[in-house]
Amino acid sequence: MKLSFSKQNLLKGINTVARAVPTHTTMPVLECIFIDASTNQITFTANDTELGISTVTNGTIVEKGTVAINARIFSDIAKKLPDDLIRMETDERNTVTITCGSVVFNIPGQSGEEFPYLPAIAKDKAVTLSQFLLKSLIEQTIFCTAPNDNNKMMQGELFEIRNGVLRIAALDGHRIALRTVALDGTPDDEKVIVPGKTLQEVARILGNDTDSKVDLFFTKNHLMFSFDSTLVVTQLIEGEYFRIQQMINCDYETKVTVSKNDFAGAIDRSTTMIRETERKPIALKIGEDVMEVSANTELGRMNDRIPATVEGEELMIGFNPKFLLDALKVVPDEMVTMYFSGSKRPLFIRDEESSYLYLILPVNMGV
């Protein structure tokens, strides 16, 4: 095999698929990037058997062939090569020679015969979104997953399509994130649980262009994301997701609308009074046309008063400040509306159309 690349294109291909290389594995071939130049295009693939990424990489094929190269070594070499034409060549023993200007690397490769190919998924029924929209939907919900929780459901997100509407939900036991968006066409109903790890990697690869599209293909066990020249295939999490709708009660006693920036600023200032190792809550005191944000710890006390439009009962309630900030960071509106049902009931942040909804459980202020 003989190939050549620009440094920019080589790094782009490596960086795209390297996200699917496992950190720890007992199978050395999974630590590799598989380069397939057996046809008229060059494809880079990485696969940890749960998440697989494949991308067509721009380059020139001088002589066709395939090889698997250790991803870490390959990436380190590519980063440190001069900004010049990079040539790769393999011999009958799969030794890879990488040449760039006066620099020459000789590294061992593998035949790749044992490298696991991505699952074959039929591309007959696509659910299509803009890359920007899908990236936004993921970023606006992924923070509510619990990657290290023993409950696998909390490690993933619900993707549910019903009556032409996509609903994405995540929860970690303390909060819920829910986003809904109407889809074009008449897609089939689907209900799957997608690993949060996959969604994080997809969001990192997706572009910010509203005109660029991404196609989703569902099977019983897998979900494929297809965009630009890249495929991402993930195994789905098996099981029945939490009954989110039963956890959401639209009744409320107090409705508060405030400036998102004013509220986030007050919360951020309050955290200076809370050590990172502590789990101290901040207090929200809601009165007539004002919301007071306060923190009282061994480090000191902080108070801030925010103008607010208040309907309903006065209220004092405590929250983990990080959970509030996480939600406010992704709310797209400048003014946020919050709904309270008492000092021991969850807070809801949502818009009138319920295109987004964030539920946050309160914290006992005596803790």
The owner of tokens 């721009």 is 58
Chain-centroid distance of CA 22 in Å reads 17
* Residues 171, 177 contacting (CB under 8 angstroms): yes
Give the up-direction half-sphere exposure of residue 2: CA atoms within 13 A in the CB hemisphere: 2
CA distances from 109 to 12, 15, 349 (A): 20, 19, 53
CA-CA distance, 228 to 215, in Å (whole number)? Answer: 10
Burial environment of residue 156 by CB neighbours within 10 A (0 to 12, 13 to 18, 19 or more): buried
Chain-centroid distance of CA 351 in Å reads 23
The owner of tokens 């295939």 is 233
pLDDT of 123 reads: 85
* Residues 324, 262 contacting (CB under 8 angstroms): no
- Helix H, strand E, coil C: the string for the chain is CEEEECHHHHHHHHHHHHHHCCCCCCCHHHHEEEEEECCCCEEEEEECCCEEEEEEECCEEEECEEEEEEHHHHHHHHHHCCCCCEEEEECCCCEEEEEECCEEEEEECECCCCCCCCCCCCCCCCEEEEHHHHHHHHHCCHHHCCCCCCCHHHHEEEEEEECCEEEEEEECCCEEEEEEEECCCCCCCEEEEEEHHHHHHHHHHCCCCCCCEEEEEECCCEEEEEECCEEEEEECCCCCCCCHHHHCCCCCCEEEEEEHHHHHHHHHHHHHHCCCCCCCCEEEEEECCEEEEEEEECCEEEEEEEECEEEECCEEEEECHHHHHHHHHHCCCCEEEEEECCCCCCEEEECCCCCEEEEECCCCCCC
Q: Which two tokens stand for residue 363?
A: 């914290």
pLDDT of 366 reads: 64
pLDDT tens digit at each of 367 positions of the chain: 999 999 999 999 999 999 999 988 888 899 999 999 999 999 999 999 899 999 999 999 999 999 999 999 999 999 999 999 999 999 999 999 999 999 999 999 999 888 998 998 988 889 999 999 999 999 999 999 999 888 999 999 999 999 999 999 999 999 999 999 999 888 999 999 999 999 999 999 998 888 899 999 999 999 999 999 999 999 999 999 999 888 888 789 999 999 999 999 999 999 999 887 777 899 999 999 999 999 998 889 999 999 999 999 999 999 999 999 999 999 999 999 999 999 999 999 999 998 999 999 999 876 4
Instruction: Give just the sign of the alpha carbon dihedral 301, 305, 311, 312.
Output: positive
CA-CA distance, 5 to 143, in Å (whole number)? Answer: 37
CA-CA distance, 34 to 41, in Å (whole number)? Answer: 13
Burial environment of residue 175 by CB neighbours within 10 A (0 to 12, 13 to 18, 19 or more): buried
* Residues 335, 260 contacting (CB under 8 angstroms): yes
Question: What domains are defined for the chain?
Answer: 2-108 (3.10.150.10), 127-243 (3.10.150.10), 248-360 (3.10.150.10)
Edge to edge, what strands does the sheet with 127-130 contain?
A: 65-70, 32-37, 42-47, 51-57, 230-235, 222-227, 213-218, 127-130
Closest CA to 157 of 173, 174, 144, 175: 144
pLDDT of 363 reads: 93
Give the up-direction half-sphere exposure of residue 366: CA atoms within 13 A in the CB hemisphere: 2
